[in-house]
Amino acid sequence: MNNKVLIVGAGAIGGFYGGLLAKAGADVSVVCRSDYAIVKQQGYRIESHALGSWQFMPNQVLRQASEYQGQPDYLILCTKVTPDIDRVALIRDAVTPHTTIVLIQNGVEIEQEIQLAFPDNLLISGLAFICCNRLAPGEISHLAYGKLILGNLSEIDEPKTQYLRDLFLRAGIECLVSADIVASRWQKCVWNAPFNPLSVLSGGLATQAILQNQENFVRRVMQEVCTIAEACGHPLPANIVENHIALTRDMPPYKTSMLLDFERGHTMETEAILGNAVRAAQRQGVDCPCLQSLYVLMQLRELQIRSNSLLN
Amino acid sequence: MNNKVLIVGAGAIGGFYGGLLAKAGADVSVVCRSDYAIVKQQGYRIESHALGSWQFMPNQVLRQASEYQGQPDYLILCTKVTPDIDRVALIRDAVTPHTTIVLIQNGVEIEQEIQLAFPDNLLISGLAFICCNRLAPGEISHLAYGKLILGNLSEIDEPKTQYLRDLFLRAGIECLVSADIVASRWQKCVWNAPFNPLSVLSGGLATQAILQNQENFVRRVMQEVCTIAEACGHPLPANIVENHIALTRDMPPYKTSMLLDFERGHTMETEAILGNAVRAAQRQGVDCPCLQSLYVLMQLRELQIRSNSLLN
């Protein structure tokens, strides 16, 4: 039995997936900082269009990983990936030799830092395709989607990865194990790389308006990401750009996660999504001028936000 | 004698140069719309660090060109070049067969529209390198610079161009006639193309901060503009990028004209500066991905501004 799960970063996404694992019978605890008081008292209330509503009462509700009682089988890290979050420090005190570390996080090339810090632990890299919001402390609204893709960086079939997938499936959410999770990350980046920064830099346009007005540019940025992925040894399906465009056209007008972070004054995942992609391109000698332009502009935008907040 | 001058678009820049020509002895009238009442009553008060202060009382102060009494020798158009300003309509009623049309305006490839509408008139294309502000209706502050470059699109020495230059020189401002005014426009665009949109899209950074943080990107955009200019038959000096960078480094932190327009809620010269440059590149089959990225982003930013103002 691999039943003890610790979620670190239990906001909307961490709380939602933790709640699913608890539904599936796992012993789930959470480290949550901003909503600690409420969650400690009454757990999470999860409202899902697809899966109904339920109460999720974590076994342990903690302020930090060091307070965890026991040895987690899975430590699932669900924070954003931003320069102001030290992911290794956040989880170090709860990682035991047999703990499997699971990342449910955005971006490309975000695994190395964790691998280097915990070279002997099994690492599962995971991607969430989900639309869910925190309505209030401890209140999560799951609006749409929810699919998880999990994978190991080695190409070995890992029983602990299969087991985790089965827990998620039992809870009623789509979950699959990818033989090339790194390629899956690049595939997601193909969408994120244009739409996330364009939504912020345009001053708040939704995906529909961006696509309707600048489809050629969106396609070019997407194609640059495909070229980088291929240069990194992870060629993407030939139809990926076409598929992403078609899917976006069929989506309702959508605010990207980066735009939501921007509007809330939160740090954005510029480095995890754009910075890491551009650095990979530079390492491989690939030119990606449009992606680079977006990265440059996001860095200047963030510089301006920081200098504004210093003035206030 | 070529002494009758009509300034159309007599805001800060038009008022300043009109005031100089009046100082030099010309008979200067103005079409000014927003400040009409004050200017009609008391003219302009011009305060210049370099040239002292003076009162400029135009001979005729008009709401529109059709009200002009007489036949202007020079009609000097000083409006911004934006899609919401119909430049031909603004000047048509005052252009006589012997009127020389002078553009003191920003952007590249902005002459054709006027040439097509007035094929038999002499056209002088002019560029102002100036920092001046409208402090209040009829009050102009000239802060720095002031150089004018004038030129004809044909390569013939035009006496009327020389005569206008001499008027400006007599008033104490640097003015020269360029043998290739189109190249001069591209040279100015080399600076404007990166700094104008980057200042807006970053959310308001001054030139110093942009250069300190993203010099490589600025250089790349500048280089793309040089390549377009060359493809259009106007090769720029080899050291132009280096010179622009060095000059910008030595300038005090500076808010670009596009940023000022943006902050004031005015239409920006996106099309005249970026759009026309990108269209020239496309016509010549030149790839300019970084410039194109800036143009795409400015278009989305403007779309968002328009959709916001529709909501309000």
Quote the pLDDT of residue A253.
Answer: 79
Q: What is the pLDDT of residue B2?
A: 67
**Can you give the pLDDT at residue B251?**
84
Q: Which residue of B has its CA nearest to A220?
A: B289
Interface of A with B in 213-252 (CB under 8 A): 213-214, 217, 220
Nearest to A213 among B202, B294, B299 (CB): B299
Which of A227, A302, A304, A308 is best to mutate for the B interface (most B CBs within 10 A)? A304
Q: Where are the alpha helices (DSSP H) in chain B?
A: 12-23, 36-42, 87-91, 112-117, 159-170, 181-201, 207-231, 240-250, 257-263, 270, 276-284, 289-311
Q: Give the minimum alpha-carbon distance from A195 to chain B in angstroms, rounded to a whole number.
A: 12
Average pLDDT, rounded, for chain B: 95
Q: By percentage, how much of chain B surpasses pLDDT 90?
A: 91
Structure tokens at B145: 């610079």
- Which helix or strand (DSSP H or E) is residue A91 part of? helix A87-91
Q: Are strands A61-62 and A27-31 parallel, antiparallel or unpaired?
A: parallel
Q: Which of A204, A210, A300 sits opposite B213 (nearest CB)?
A: A300
Q: Which of residues 199-218 of A touch B (CB under 8 A)?
A: 201-205, 209-210, 213-214, 217
The torsion of the CA quartet A219, A222, A224, A227, rounded to 10 degrees, works out to -120
Q: pLDDT per residue over A119-169, tens digit each?
A: 999 999 999 999 888 999 999 999 888 999 999 998 788 999 999 999 999
Nearest CA in chain B to A301: B202
Reading chain A (312 residues) residue by residue, the pLDDT tens digits are 669 999 999 899 999 999 999 999 999 999 998 899 999 999 999 999 899 999 999 999 999 999 999 999 999 999 999 999 999 999 999 999 999 999 999 999 999 999 999 999 999 999 999 988 899 999 999 988 899 999 999 878 899 999 999 999 999 999 999 999 999 999 999 999 999 999 999 999 999 999 999 999 999 999 999 999 999 999 999 999 999 999 999 988 778 999 999 999 999 999 999 999 999 999 999 999 999 999 999 999 999 999 887 765
Q: Does B259 contact A at CB distance below 8 Å?
A: no
* List of chain A residues whose C-beta atoms are within 8 Å of the C-beta of residue B198: 297, 300
Which residue in chain A is spatially nearest to B288 when comparing CA positions?
A289
**Structural domains for chain A:** 4-179 (3.40.50.720), 183-311 (1.10.1040.10)
Q: How many Å apart are CA B142 and CA B171, to the nearest integer?
A: 14
Asked if A290's CB is within 8 angstroms of B202's CB, the reply is no
Q: How far is B192 from chain A (nearest CA, A)?
A: 16
* Distance between B279 CA and the closest CA of chain A, angstroms: 15
3-state secondary structure of B233: coil
Q: Are B66 and B60 in contact (CB under 8 A)?
A: no
Task: Say whether A205 and B304 touch across the interface (CB within 8 A).
Answer: yes
Measure CA of the first residue to CA of the last residue in chain B; give whole Å. Answer: 53
Say yes or no for a CB contact (<8 Å) between B301 and A214.
no
Rounded to an integer, what distance in angstroms lies between the CA atom of residue A168 and that of residue A163?
Answer: 9
Q: Give the pair of three-digit tokens for residue A111.
A: 């695994």
The pLDDT assigned to B154 comes to 86
Complex ipTM, two decimals? 0.91
Res B145: pLDDT: 86
Model pLDDT, residue A83: 96
Q: Which residue of B has its CA nearest to A197?
A: B297
What number is the average pLDDT over the span B143-167?
92
Question: Is it the case that residue B272 has pLDDT exceeding 70?
Answer: yes
Q: Do A296 and B203 touch (CB under 8 A)?
A: no
- Tell which B residues from 66 to 105 touch A, by Cβ distance under 8 Å: none
- B309: pLDDT confidence band, cut at 50, 70 and 90? confident
- Of A38, A49, A46, A52, which Cα lies nearest the Cα of A17? A46
CA R_g for chain A: 19
Distance from CA of B288 to the nearest CA of A (A): 9
How far does the CA of residue A105 sit from the closest CA of chain B (Å)? 27
Determine whether the interchain pair B209/A303 forms a contact, defined as Cβ–Cβ distance below 8 Å: yes
- Strand-strand pairing, A74-77 and A61-62: unpaired
275-304 of A, contacting B, C-beta below 8 A? 289-290, 292-294, 296-297, 299-301, 303-304
pLDDT of residue A38: 97
> How far A193 CA sits from the closest chain B CA (Å)?
13
Name residue, tokens 């050291």. Answer: B239
> Is B294 in Cβ contact with A290 (below 8 Å)?
no
pLDDT of residue B144: 85
**What was the pLDDT predicted at A311?**
65
Q: Which of B213, B296, B299 sits opposite A303 (nearest CB)?
A: B213
Question: What per-residue confidence (pLDDT) applies to B253?
Answer: 79
Q: Contact, A234 vs A271, CB < 8 A?
A: no
| Chain B residue numbers touching A289 (CB-CB < 8 A) | 220, 289-290, 293
CB contact under 8 A, B292 and A213: no
pLDDT for res A312: 56
Nearest-CA distance A190 → chain B (Å): 17
CB B104 within 8 A of CB B74: no
**Helix B159-170 / helix B12-23 crossing angle, nearest 10 deg:** 90
Measure the CA angle with vertex A57, ends A55 and A63; round to 5°.
130
Residues of B in contact with A205 (CB under 8 A): 300, 303-304, 307
CA distance, residue B212 to nearest chain A CA (Å): 11
- Which single residue is written with the structure tokens 């608890």? A22
In chain A, whose CA is at the least distance from the CA of B213? A300
Q: How far apart are CA B249 and CA B212, in angstroms?
A: 9
